[in-house]
């Protein structure tokens, strides 16, 4: 089992120190989250809370995922990075391809792209992208990204993208795994049919996580090529539980997304705390969980 440190909501100026500590403590990787903006008038429902309200306040920092990943990669040597998740369909495909490829080169191939369809209509509209077609566009975008990353002269002619012969450089030093995030049948379908893995967004109850993992495994078996390598990353609600992590590993989960720094925050839902408190919480998790799992 691999343990990924989530850094959503954290103070931006602490993140390079968090990355250094994560590598030293034995975390396998870091997951970053993504939003460009927070509209004053927000009518879209957040899909991972009962009341549809986001977990964070408007002033919560959301540093750009790929700027952040490149910076963290520059101060580490082994740590891997992915998004949980990146709202790729809210951007143009060339910008996404360029950002990911650049980070892949800077990190020496230590990145994966975690994509999600997105939920905030206002964000799509302000970025000039159609919210209602985001699902099928994302499906084709996944194919286009792999084409653009191949290096050399490439082109693509499809339903949503018509790209003449061109080159995008630098190209990634190795294929970039693409993982699909989301708790929905559409996300499972996208993960199984087009991607190299699945990311379960949000901290779900253990029984719900087991249900989604079993669905993924069944869908994989039903697809041709279902025995190919496939990553499953998920967060689980509740205190750290080594026995639960071992059970999930037996079911096919390859990574646990964890946020021990949450225990350091003095105010629930605020997520702010001094850096030493965060690092101490990470060290406890490494001692109590990671060391026992390996």
- Please report, in angstroms and rounded to a whole number, the separation of the first and last CA atoms in the chain: 8
Q: Average the pLDDT over 182-193 and give the result.
A: 92
Beta bridge partners of 233: 199, 255
pLDDT for res 82: 98
Q: Average the pLDDT over 91-118 and give the result.
A: 97
Domain limits at 225?
Answer: 2-293
pLDDT over threshold 90, residue 209: yes
Encode pLDDT of 221-273 as tens digits. 887 656 678 999 999 988 899 999 999 999 999 999 999 988 777 666 678 89
Within 10 angstroms of residue 102's Cβ, the number of other Cβ atoms is 18
% of the chain beyond a pLDDT of 70: 97
Closest CA to 201 of 223, 226, 234: 234
pLDDT for res 264: 72
**CA–CA separation, 144 and 230 (whole Å):** 21
pLDDT for res 192: 94
pLDDT for res 261: 84
Q: Average the pLDDT over 62-66 and give the result.
A: 97
pTM above 0.85, yes or no: yes
pLDDT for res 235: 94
Within 10 angstroms of residue 270's Cβ, the number of other Cβ atoms is 12
The CATH code of the domain that includes 47 is 3.20.20.30
Task: Name which of 174-178, 183-187, 221-225, 241-245 the model is least confident about.
Answer: 221-225
Per-residue tokens: 278: 């965060």
Encode pLDDT of 216-231 as tens digits. 999 988 876 566 789 9
Encode pLDDT of 42-53 as tens digits. 999 998 888 999
Total number of domains in the chain: 1
pLDDT for res 221: 86
CA distances (Å), 294 to each of 3, 5, 124, in order? 11, 17, 42
| 87 pLDDT tier (thresholds 50, 70, 90) | very high
């Amino acid at each position: 089992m691999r343990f990924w440190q989530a850094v959503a909501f954290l103070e931006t100026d602490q993140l390079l120190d968090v990355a250094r500590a994560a590598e030293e403590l034995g975390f396998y990787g870091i997951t970053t989250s993504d939003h460009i903006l927070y509209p004053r008038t927000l009518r879209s429902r957040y899909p991972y809370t009962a009341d549809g309200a986001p977990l964070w306040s408007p002033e919560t920092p959301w540093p750009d995922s790929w700027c952040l990943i490149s910076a963290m990669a520059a101060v580490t040597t082994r740590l891997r990075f992915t998004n949980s998740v990146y709202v790729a369909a809210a951007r143009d495909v060339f910008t996404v391809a360029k950002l990911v490829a650049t980070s892949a080169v800077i990190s020496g191939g230590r990145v994966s792209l975690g994509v999600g369809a997105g939920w905030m209509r206002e964000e799509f509209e302000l970025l000039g992208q159609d919210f209602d077609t985001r699902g099928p566009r994302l499906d084709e975008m996944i194919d286009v990204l792999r084409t653009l990353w191949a290096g050399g002269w490439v082109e693509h002619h499809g339903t949503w993208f018509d790209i003449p012969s061109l080159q995008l450089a630098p190209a990634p030093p190795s294929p970039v795994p693409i993982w699909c995030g989301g708790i929905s049948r559409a996300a499972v379908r996208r993960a199984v049919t087009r991607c190299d893995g699945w990311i379960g967004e949000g901290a779900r109850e253990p029984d719900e996580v087991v249900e989604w993992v079993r669905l993924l495994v069944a869908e994989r078996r039903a697809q041709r090529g279902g025995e190919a390598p496939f990553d499953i990353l998920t967060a689980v609600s509740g205190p750290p539980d080594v026995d639960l992590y071992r059970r999930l590993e037996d079911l096919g989960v390859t990574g646990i997304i964890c946020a021990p720094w949450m225990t350091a925050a003095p105010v629930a839902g605020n997520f702010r705390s001094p850096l030493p408190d965060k690092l101490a919480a990470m060290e406890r998790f490494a001692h109590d969980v990671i060391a026992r799992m390996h």
